[in-house]
Amino acid sequence: MTTGICSSTVSCVGRVIFSVLSLVLLLWAVPARAEKLHCPSVTDNDEKNNEIARRYFQMGGMYHDKQDHLKAAEAFECVLKFVPYSLTARYRLARAYDGMAVYSRAREHYEMILVYDSAEAESLKPEIRKRLAEIKDLKDRVTVVTVPVEPAVVDDKTCPPVVVKGQQEALAKVEKLMDGKSWLKARQLLDETLKKLDGATPAQRKLCMSAEAGLGLLLHAGIVHFNLNNLQDAGDLFTQVFRLRPESVLPKKYETAALLEFFQKTSSAYFASVQAEKEKQLRIRQLEEGHGIAPEPAENPTVALEHQPQVKVERGKPLVFVCRAQDGLGVAKVVLSYRLDDGAAREEVLEKLGTRRWVTVVPGAGLSFVKFAYHLAALDSSGNEVAAWGSAEKPHVFSLPAEKPVEPGPGVTGPVTGPVTGPVTSPVTPKPPGRSWRIYLAGAGGIDFGFIPMDTITQLGAYTTNHGWGRNAPVFSMELGLVFLHSHRITVGLRRTPFEYRVSMEDEKAVRTTQMQFFARHVETFFMDSDIRPYLGAGGFGGPLRMLVENDARFEGDNGVKDSYEMGGAFLNGVAGLQMCFWKSCHVAWHFEANVLWKFASPVDDPVFSTDYLKTVVIWLSTGLAFNF
């Protein structure tokens, strides 16, 4: 018997084959390493481009969920290649670079979003500013990050070809839909196309909308909204068209007498506003050059009404008054109230010249005084004072020395005149400032949903078999109170609820009763210069609250058992609501309100702060009219 590695030729060959197969299997089992993400080229088909962009957007989201920030960045860069102004893709790209600790690129994309002017961008800006402050001085932790996708060039000089191509294709489809009178589908397609520019700066948006396709989209969107009777939106869109191309005209095939009349009225209003703006800018320039008024600062004033008195006052020369009103006060008018010496009070309305700036000039020809006392008051559209600088009791005073009488020359005898008695005038009482408070009155109707724990004993002696919600409707309420400090409201109210329920199973008929509850709350209203005003508040609520309880078992001869549960007591009341003003002054408003009532104390015959009562919650929903006067 011979010795060696292989006992025979066959066994040796077998071992070699086995070793090779093992090596192949071992290599095959090694996980494949990730390669660079491939981004396709932009096509001439806008639908295909959008489909590719959607696919890579989903891919980027998947990589983001897996914390693979490099692949996520590559995917979102590819999305921007197909949809250059995608705000969401740019925001997620910035977050991907942030996650990789490539802070320089993260800052670059975050800062780009800060110059966008869409509603979606505004919602992201507070978070972005906070993050930029956190990474302001951080250095990149990754030396080299290779992102193979070259995104489309996005600047303020050219509109990306992919955007122009998409607008052209969308315009062709919109015209087909409009020819078939499919106004709703046309509006949907137009909205989707125009929304793609939400991530563009104002300069980029103007550039893309100034092209033929962009102008066509705006013009057709105005026609579509007019045919849907959305006249406000139609007017806004036509106005945008005039801003970009003043000589624009309607397409003949969509022109009707009514549309042409509306289009011409919008055109006249636009050019009138342009002329008024030119005159206003000329007036601003004349004031700044002729009276030394400084250009208006961009930032919001730090006080409600900002004003600096004129430094140098000279007899016979005009007095210039400039003030700035803070945002959010709803200022409609600023009034200068002044007195010359001890004369009657006079008023001068300032002219709004700028974003927050109000100006007036008191001519010098009429200014011959020893004392000039004045103060400023800012009023809202209802005439209520919302801010002031100085007051009638503590005005600011300019003083000048009294004029010296002219001495007669030698040999000249001055005229002899008798004593002159000044005219007798009644003292003039200055006009009191407008009210800073209002009376609030509201009426509403609604419904309650009360939480009823399991094993609760109902009016008819049944046990609830689960946690559930009882119902109480209808609920009518009246509320009266005072609005003060412009946005705060304190009120008291009364609720009335008609209810039918069975006292016991022996009773053949349900009892009809009316329950009364009382409440008081304080709320604060936000966005006081808007027509839609949300508000939040809290207060207390008390009284009996009876809830209808569904009964699984129907009793013979009954058309529905009126079983119920009463959960009266004292409640804490959380309030959230929304006011929709019928007019800017909001004297009348429709309001929607949600109240959360949490029971913290019960009647004397029940324990206070028991476990069940801690779980007792009532949701009260209501809507109605509110009056401020």
| The pLDDT of residue 253 is above 60 | yes
Tell me what pLDDT residue 407 has.
56
**Percentage above 90 pLDDT, the chain:** 34
What is the pLDDT confidence band of residue 161, given thresholds at 50, 70 and 90?
confident
What letters, b where the CB count within 10 A reaches 16 and e where it falls short, cover 90-101?
A: bbbbbbbbbbbe
We find that the CATH architecture of domain 46-134 is Alpha Horseshoe (1.25)
In angstroms, rounded to a whole number, what is the distance separating the alpha carbons of residues 170 and 166?
Answer: 6
Tell me what pLDDT residue 301 has.
92
Tell me what pLDDT residue 590 has.
92
Residue with tokens 């689960």: 466
Provide the 3-class DSSP secondary structure of residue 440.
strand
| The pLDDT of residue 28 is above 80 | no
- Give the lowest-confidence range in 28-37, 226-235, 341-350: 28-37
Nearest Cα residue to 155 out of 85, 212, 88, 96: 85
How many other CB atoms are there within 10 angstroms of residue 336's CB atom? 21
In angstroms, rounded to a whole number, what is the distance separating the alpha carbons of residues 179 and 190?
Answer: 15
Q: What is the average pLDDT value for the chain, to the nearest integer?
A: 81
- Give the lowest-confidence range in 79-88, 153-162, 436-445, 498-507: 153-162
Spelled out in words, what is the top-level CATH class assigned to the domain 161-274? mainly alpha
DSSP collapsed to 3 states, 273-334: HHHHHHHHHHHHHHHHHHHCCCCCCCCCCCCCEEECCCCCCCCCCCEEEEEEECCCCCCCEE
Tell me what pLDDT residue 93 has.
92
Where are the domains positioned within the chain? Answer: 46-134, 161-274, 305-399, 438-552+560-628
We find that the CATH architecture of domain 305-399 is Sandwich (2.60)
Tell me what pLDDT residue 420 has.
45
- Give the lowest-confidence range in 100-114, 246-260, 607-621: 607-621
Query: Do 627 and 441 touch, CB atoms closer than 8 A?
Result: yes
Residue 606 or 455, more confident = 455
Tell me what pLDDT residue 484 has.
86
What is the pLDDT confidence band of residue 576, given thresholds at 50, 70 and 90?
very high
Query: Do 528 and 486 touch, CB atoms closer than 8 A?
Result: yes
What is the pLDDT confidence band of residue 388, given thresholds at 50, 70 and 90?
very high
What is the pTM (predicted TM-score) of this model? 0.43
We find that the CATH architecture of domain 438-552+560-628 is Beta Barrel (2.40)
Pairing of strands 357-362, 319-325: antiparallel
Residue 13 or 215, more confident = 215
- Give the lowest-confidence range in 27-41, 49-63, 354-368, 560-574: 27-41
Residue 201 or 584, more confident = 201
What is the pLDDT confidence band of residue 27, given thresholds at 50, 70 and 90?
very low
| DSSP label at residue 252 | G
Q: Is 594 exposed, middle or buried (0-12, 13-18, 19+ CB in 10 A)?
A: middle
Tell me what pLDDT residue 557 has.
47
Tell me what pLDDT residue 3 has.
40
Tell me what pLDDT residue 267 has.
93
* Helix-, strand-, coil-residue percentages of the chain, each rounded to 5: 35, 25, 40
| The pLDDT of residue 186 is above 90 | yes
Residue 294 or 138, more confident = 138
Q: pLDDT tens digits, residue range 410-428?
A: 554 545 454 544 444 444 4
Tell me what pLDDT residue 409 has.
53
| The pLDDT of residue 216 is above 60 | yes
Tell me what pLDDT residue 26 has.
45
Two domains, one topology: 46-134 and 161-274:
yes
Provide the 3-class DSSP secondary structure of residue 191.
helix
| The pLDDT of residue 464 is above 50 | yes
Mean pLDDT, rounded, for 230-239:
93
Which amino acid is present at 33? R
Residue 554 or 40, more confident = 40
| The pLDDT of residue 16 is above 70 | no
Query: Do 472 and 545 touch, CB atoms closer than 8 A?
Result: yes
Tell me what pLDDT residue 8 has.
53
Maximum mean pLDDT: which of 143-147, 405-409, 410-414, 444-448: 444-448
| The pLDDT of residue 242 is above 80 | yes
